[in-house]
Structure 1
Amino acid sequence: MSDKLFFTKKSKSDELLDSCCPKLSYKQRLIGFIVCSAIGWIISILAMGVFFSRNKDIAFFAVLYTLGNIVCIMGTCFLSGPKSQVKAMKHKSRIITTIVFILSMAGTLVFALAVKIIPLCIAFIVLQFLSYIWYTLSFIPFGQRIVKKVCCSCCDPESQSS
């Protein structure tokens, strides 16, 4: 009997994640996802405007770009719920990508704001972009596999000679 209680008892993090997203209808979840995604993309586009402006402020660009990615990921929590999103991020098929994505966001902010080494900041931004794309592809059926095949066929000299 005590074993049954042990397995059904929720941890504090489970309770917190459940309380963050009350029961929403499918339409409300879809609207939340679209709004967060749009805001995230707008922030990222504004960041690109900062990057290509005459008065480049790499630190401001890095913060905006990272914030845009965070808002986009928050949008996916509307579709599946925060608890399911965290569980999906820990799945064996995307755990490495998740870790790289989170570390690249942290590295971007560290090298932009604290250490102020611009080349490393830009390297982490590129890594952040690539890991975000790879992370997103992990949710599309066969997405990563298709991109791997396309990249391999582009790099294979025999496939280009035909």
Structure 2
Amino acid sequence: MSLPFNVQRSMGGRFNMDDPMHNDPGMFNLSWNQRLMAFGFCFVIGLVLSIMGTVLIFLGNSVGFAVCYSIGNVVSLFGMGFLVGFKRQLKMATAPVRLVAFLLYIGLLVATFVVAFATGIGVLCLVFAIAQYCALAWYSASYIPFGRKMIKSTCGACASAI
């Protein structure tokens, strides 16, 4: 007897769904538990870098903030690759619905580093980091059903309240 949705009984009598996140080992050929640990490690490192950046901005080091924040984002994106697979993550990021947002985010990420290292102008680094955050939010919202619509309506409500 076959079950719907490729659900199969495992050795312990439990059912496993044919989930691409469980079956796609990515480029490292890791087990699901190893992939979760790698994601968790990247998440913690990204969080620590973001907290360091926040501390640096309160100390008046906006260049350090921009660098820590940007590196934290890169590490977090890398961590997501462990969950969904790096090839699949790139394929989803370059899908027509989110390609512009992804390219804008990557462009702002690079621009943040260039401004931080080439000019060292703190205010400009801060502006690029904030724009980078907005681009990441818009890109991430494309994965949530009606996510972009919610952002538009929230921003519209805030703008009309002003």
TM-score by length of 1: 0.75
1:70-104: per-residue Cα shift (whole Å, max 9, x none)? Answer: 00101110111111111111111111111111111
Q: Deviations over 1:113-148 (max 9, x none)?
A: 112233322211111111122222222222222222
CA offsets 1:52-77 (integer angstroms, 9 cap, x no match): 02xx3332222111100100101110
Alignment of 1:39 with 2:39, yes or no, is no
Per-residue deviation, 1:19: 9.6
Determine the structure 2 residue equivalent to 1:71.
75
Larger proportion of helix = 1
- What is the root-mean-square deviation in Å for CA atoms of aligned residues? 2.3
Unaligned runs of 5+ in 2: 1-23
**Residue 95 of structure 2 aligns to which amino acid in structure 1?**
H
1:25 counterpart = 2:27: no
Cα-to-partner distance string for 1:22-59 (whole Å, 9 max, x where unaligned): 33333332232222122111111111101102xx3332
Pick aligned residue for 2:58 from 47, 52, 61: 52
| C-alpha separation in 2, matches of 1:57 and 1:42 | 17
Instruction: Report the count of equivalent residues.
Output: 139
| Identical pairs, percent | 35
Return the alpha-carbon distance in structure 2 between the equivalents of residues 156 and 51 of structure 1: 31
* Separation in 2, partners of 1:19, 1:31: 14
Which secondary structure does the structure 2 equivalent of 1:78 belong to? helix
